[in-house]
Amino acid sequence: FRLHESPEEEPHIVLECDGGMLEAVQKHLKLYKIRRKVNIAPCLDLSLWAVVPGERAGDIAGSLAKSADQALILTPDPRTEVMGWRLITKKGADPLEIIPGSQIGNIQDYHRHRYKQGIPEGVKDLPPGVALPLESNLAYMNGISFTKGCYIGQELTARTHHMGVIRKRLLPVHFSAPLPKDSIPEGAEILTESGKSAGKFRAGGGEMGIALLRLANINEPLCLNIAGDKVKLTANIPEWWPKTASK
């Protein structure tokens, strides 16, 4: 997100990241700073809000015009339209004043919404060194460029995109019963009815979650083994995916 409006103003760019990775991201960016006069620091005076669908885009844009002193950035979520808008305000600003008629939910509401849409976010859903960009659907969410480089893994990613077949993808899953809190091991295996591995659980809450599954198995009865108990689950292809995405 850019925070400067004119060429004369010193450019400021805001980078959103997983809060648990803040220090690691800072350290990584500073490796490439070299001798440039660039200051990299956390924006502790800002607050980030997710504005999930329910408000019309025109109404939101109009609200921003009336409350520009409180809202620094209000922009469509770059990942997909179903995730609504991202709002960045000054610390302490009231989002209800910026977007009249809205309601403040909690973090569980937000996660439930993105699980339902199959949207990964943060290191739990996208574990570093484990998650692959194409299997994580980043090509569908403006997360990969196939026209610029270079970046680590670019050749393999581009080759797979243009020529290969992606056999596993992150998908939204719905459980037959609410998941127990904090008792599911990371990467717990998801099995078919015959006991064959169909994929791995990534994250979830209540009856919703997200899992890396083999596309060939998503129409079969599936279950997650939790402390000896089998919890049934179903998976589906999100409607916001490109129509050819399930191939």
Q: Structurally, how many domains does the chain consist of?
A: 2
Structure tokens at 208: 């919703």
Co-location of 137 and 231 in the same domain:
yes
Co-location of 30 and 100 in the same domain:
yes
- Classify residue 121: in a domain, yes or no: no
Pairwise CA distance, residues 154 & 151, whole Å: 5
Q: What is the mean pLDDT of each run of 10 residues along the chain (247 residues)?
A: 65 89 93 88 92 64 55 88 92 87 89 95 92 93 83 78 85 91 82 94 93 95 85 95 70
Please answer whether residues 66 and 24 qualify as being in contact, where contact means their C-beta atoms are separated by less than 8 angstroms.
no
- Classify residue 10: in a domain, yes or no: no
Co-location of 150 and 207 in the same domain:
yes
Co-location of 68 and 138 in the same domain:
no
Residue 200 structural domain? 133-235
- Classify residue 240: in a domain, yes or no: no
Question: What phi and psi values does residue 25 have, to the nearest 5 degrees?
Answer: -65, -45
pLDDT value, residue 68: 52
- Classify residue 171: in a domain, yes or no: yes
Q: Which amino acid is at 206?
A: G
- Classify residue 122: in a domain, yes or no: no
Co-location of 145 and 229 in the same domain:
yes
pLDDT value, residue 3: 62
Co-location of 99 and 138 in the same domain:
no
pLDDT value, residue 156: 78
pLDDT value, residue 57: 47
Co-location of 137 and 66 in the same domain:
no
Residue 168's CB: how many other CB atoms inside 10 A? 19
- Classify residue 126: in a domain, yes or no: no
- Classify residue 208: in a domain, yes or no: yes
Co-location of 138 and 221 in the same domain:
yes
pLDDT value, residue 67: 54
Co-location of 98 and 144 in the same domain:
no
Co-location of 101 and 151 in the same domain:
no
pLDDT value, residue 5: 58
Backbone dihedral region of 207: left (phi > 0), alpha (psi from -120 to 50 degrees) or beta?
alpha
pLDDT value, residue 137: 95
Pairwise CA distance, residues 204 & 208, whole Å: 6
Co-location of 92 and 179 in the same domain:
no
pLDDT value, residue 144: 86
- Classify residue 207: in a domain, yes or no: yes
pTM value is 0.85
**158: domain CATH number?**
2.40.30.160
